[in-house]
Amino acid sequence: MTAMHRMTLAELVGGLSAGDFSSSELTRHFLDRIAAHDAQLNSFITVTEEAAMAAARKADEARAAGNAGPLAGIPLAQKDIFNTKGVRTSCGSRMLDNYIAPYDARVIEGFNDAGAVMLGKTNMDEFAMGSSNETSWYGAVKNPWDTERVPGGSSGGSAAAVAARLAPAATGTDTGGSIRQPAALCGITGLKPTYGRVSRWGMIAFASSLDQAGPMAPSAEDCALLLQAMAGFDERDSTCMNEPVDDYSAGLTQPIDGLKIGLPKEYFTEGLDSAVEARVREALKHYESLGAELVEITLPNSHLSAPAYYVVAPAECSSNLSRFDGVRFGHRCDNPKDLEDMYCRSRGEGFGDEVKRRILVGAYALSAGYYDAYYLKAQQIRRLISNDFAEAFKQVDVIMGPTTPTPAFRLGEKADDPISMYLSDIYTIAVNLAGLPGMSVPVGTVDDLPVGLHIVGNYWSEARLLNIAHRLQMDTDWHKQIPEAFA
């Protein structure tokens, strides 16, 4: 039998139901792998070993009793941005280092209902602000393909844990690329759903109008299984839409001949590493061989997406993070002199530099006299960007390009250069501004570092995106590759 950590999620589901192994054995296996390897990666903030083993036993009992859920006994890692009842939920911040969540996020409820087992909470950039996982209060996460390099961010812990198979799959959240960029840099598959597809209830907000949770796993087929448990209407989130949920696994193998793939000319220009481009072009060629048609398109306002994003996201975060004031929960400074001192020192000590930078930028963009020039203008640009995509989807079915301009960069390389760091999300952020679904799929390596293909679809086209990604993965095995040190 193949080692359990080398199996896909679908294979693990099959193995559990065939009785090849129990959830207790499976969960133990992954807990052991975390214990053995995570010191090198730092991909987990909290490992919930006891609770995981208890949940695994429960899943085994449920299966024996004949009422196993669709993910019964499957161990998963959860990004530490999701509230998990009774478990520390830190969001990668000193601010919440002492915070035990009193309730479960909707995403967690979904996995609990499906019978999944939580292995622990994964490391992330502080409050999901970062593209390298270097802003975490718990230290940087290392890329399993080269531990001198970053795994990407902000869902870097989830990406690294899955890439090293310390967990069969994980969750992430994506505000500007935080699922897709680390998925690309770690060689796994990640999907950011349409805004409103997955409830944000219990997911700690960074930028409310952009945040969306999604699956991160080796393959598209795995992502389909996870998304099934995550997607759906939730009346507790007013921005969650009551759209029918597709059966994401049902159409995975459908042929894609006649598929029109749009290639934005703006995405294949300077700034794109030529070797990365080569891997992307190879994948595109493969799609042609499957009967797809490549069409050059234009997204004329692409160059405005980063400036607009870095106004909207900080503006929303400056307000969202106001609740961390040392009054009711989270970090409070020692011996405050008075109220203002408590606010200043609690927040000064609790937040890291990148979070403070964005709060300042956002507060500035919203302040009297600047609102029209910044926030309002950014929202107008957002409309233009959405219109660009709407135009494009009149001509093509999906849009493809590189997920990131380069493979994983070195730890520390961009840590002191926020602008250069921000540009590593240059291809992904427009998708959040428009609220569209997007995926990153591994399509090869450059100097042994993974490269991701970015696939963007129209609203609510998650099933189609998974189908398109799966068709590629039926013929390639980039998604099956595991870094040697973790094989």
Partner 1 sequence: MEWEVVIGLEIHAQLRTKSKIFSGASTAYGAEPNTQACAVDLGLPGVLPVLNREVVRMATKFGLAIGAEVAQKSVFARKNYFYPDLPKGYQISQFELPIVKAGTLTISLEDGSSKEIGVTRAHLEEDAGKSLHEDFHGMTGIDLNRAGTPLLEIVSEPDMRSAKEAVAYMRKIHALVQYLDICDGNMQEGSFRCDANVSVRPKGQQEYGTRTEIKNINSFRFVERAINFEVQRQIDLIEDGGEVVQETRLYDPDRNETRSMRSKEEANDYRYFPDPDLLPVMIEPEFIDAVRKEMPELPDAKKARFQSEHGLSDYDAENLTATRDTADYFEAVLAELAGEAKLIANWMNGELAARLNRDGIDIQDAPVGAVAFAGLLLRIKDNTISGKIAKEVFDAMWVGEGSADAIIDSRGLKQITDTGAIEAIIDEVIANNPSQVEQYRGGKAQLLGYFVGQVMKASKGKANPAQVNQILRDKLSG
For the annotated catalytic residues, the residue numbers are 79, 154, 178
Cβ-in-10-Å burial (0-12, 13-18, 19+) of 170 comes to buried
Shortest distance (Å) from residue 318 CB to partner 1? 8
Cα–chain center distance at 40 = 21
Of 200 and 479, which has the nearer Cβ to partner 1? 200
Cβ-Cβ contacts under 8 Å for 189 (sequence gap 6 or more): 183, 216, 217, 218, 219, 220, 222, 223, 439, 440, 441, 442, 469, 473, 479
Cα–chain center distance at 341 = 36
Work out the end-to-end distance of the chain between its first and last CA atoms, rounded to an integer number of angstroms: 15
If you compute the radius of gyration of the chain from its CA atoms, what whole number of angstroms results? 21
Residue 284 binding partner 1, by CB under 8 A: no
Of 269 and 322, which has the nearer Cβ to partner 1? 322
Task: Report the alpha-carbon distance of residue 302 to residue 127 in Å, rounded.
Answer: 26
- List 67, 254, 367, 420, residue binding partner 1 (CB under 8 A): 367
Of 201 and 393, which has the nearer Cβ to partner 1? 201
- Could you tell me how many residues of this chain bind partner 1 (CB under 8 A)? 44
Residue 209 binding partner 1, by CB under 8 A: yes
**Interface pattern 308-327 for partner 1 (x via CB under 8 A):** -------xx-xx-xxxxx-x
Of 285 and 323, which has the nearer Cβ to partner 1? 323
CB count, 10 Å around CB of 310? 21
CB count, 10 Å around CB of 329? 16
Q: Pick the stretch among 131-139, 364-372, 401-409, 415-423 that binds partner 1 (CB under 8 A).
A: 364-372
Task: Report the alpha-carbon distance of residue 65 to residue 57 in Å, rounded.
Answer: 12
- Which H or E run includes 455? strand 449-457
- List 10, 363, 384, 474, residue binding partner 1 (CB under 8 A): 363
Judged by phi (left if over 0) then psi (alpha if -120 to 50, else beta), residue 187 lies in left
- List 371, 391, 410, 420, residue binding partner 1 (CB under 8 A): 371
229-248 binders of partner 1 (CB under 8 A) = 235-239
Residue 133 binding partner 1, by CB under 8 A: no
Residue 42 binding partner 1, by CB under 8 A: no
Q: Pick the stretch among 7-15, 16-24, 117-125, 365-373 that binds partner 1 (CB under 8 A).
A: 365-373
Residue 207 binding partner 1, by CB under 8 A: yes
The closest of 164, 165, 162, 76 to 121, measured between CA atoms, is: 76
Q: How far is CA 20 from CA 4, 10, 23, 64, 166, in A?
A: 10, 14, 10, 13, 20
**Interface pattern 86-105 for partner 1 (x via CB under 8 A):** ---x-x----x--x-xxx-x
Shortest distance (Å) from residue 45 CB to partner 1? 15
- List 1, 18, 39, 368, residue binding partner 1 (CB under 8 A): 368
Residues within the interface to partner 1 (CB under 8 A): 82-83, 89, 91, 96, 99, 101-103, 105, 200-205, 207-209, 235-239, 315-316, 318-319, 321-325, 327-329, 339, 343, 363, 366-368, 371, 375
